[in-house]
Amino acid sequence: MQLLDCPDISKISSGVSPVMFVNGAVLFPKCTFPLRIFEPRYLKMLESALKTTRSFILSFEDEDSEVNSYSYGTMGLITSAVKQNDGTTLVMLEGLFKVKLIKSDSHHQNWAYEKLSISDSNLDFDLVDKLKLSYNRLCDAIGDCDFPKNLSLSKNVSHSCDVIVDFLVSNIAFKKEYYLINNINKKLTIAIKVIESIFLKN
């Protein structure tokens, strides 16, 4: 498949995008998520995305629920899409950034969104040091496995916390609650507790 020249979606602060609602899918920025797409409307959405920006928003919100607050999701870049013999398509989606869904069109196919970001301005460096110790201890203990052992805890704290929670936590409800946290020190505290819980089980 030949890739198209598309605008750099990561530099856009707001816009309109198709959204795929999957209740059990939590995609963090700079992480990847595998999807098997089978619903006709989402297959059509995928076909259109591959011809344009190669991106769409993945949201774990309930599409049919009547909520008063905004919904959230992650803008994802399609890194691969393979059609299967059964008519489905396997997609690898790479998270780019979190978004707040503002309003959908009349057909609920495209949503206006705003890009979200988290600030490190009030970073608690004692928590960062504690996370480094816990993370290094875990890396030393687990030996050979596919757990990421090269996280840059000093340069991108929020992303490192996301990866730790994404990799070590299987509870979807927990991931959803964590995803909505916009305080960096709260994220640090949770990431530390997640690692510590691994050692408490042994």
Which of 115, 143, 160 terminates a domain? The answer is: 115
Can you give the residue range of the structural domain that contains 188? Answer: 125-200
H helices within the chain, ranges in order?
40-51, 125-142, 157-168, 172-179, 184-200
The answer as to whether 3 is a domain residue is: no
The DSSP output letter for 30 is T
Do 104 and 134 sit in the same domain of this protein?
A: no
State residue 135's pLDDT score: 94
The answer as to whether 90 is a domain residue is: yes
Do 61 and 159 sit in the same domain of this protein?
A: no
Tokens of 193: 């507790």
The answer as to whether 191 is a domain residue is: yes
Do 156 and 105 sit in the same domain of this protein?
A: no
Do 178 and 105 sit in the same domain of this protein?
A: no
State residue 1's pLDDT score: 36
Do 108 and 25 sit in the same domain of this protein?
A: yes
Distance CA 63, CA 192 (A): 32
Q: What is the mean pLDDT of each run of 10 residues along the chain (202 residues)?
A: 48 83 92 94 94 93 63 94 95 95 78 86 92 93 81 88 94 95 95 93 65
Tokens of 123: 């970073």
Distance CA 31, CA 160 (A): 10
The answer as to whether 82 is a domain residue is: yes
Contacts of 29 (CB under 8 A, 6+ apart): 74, 95, 96, 97, 98, 159, 162
Which of 89, 115, 141 terminates a domain? The answer is: 115
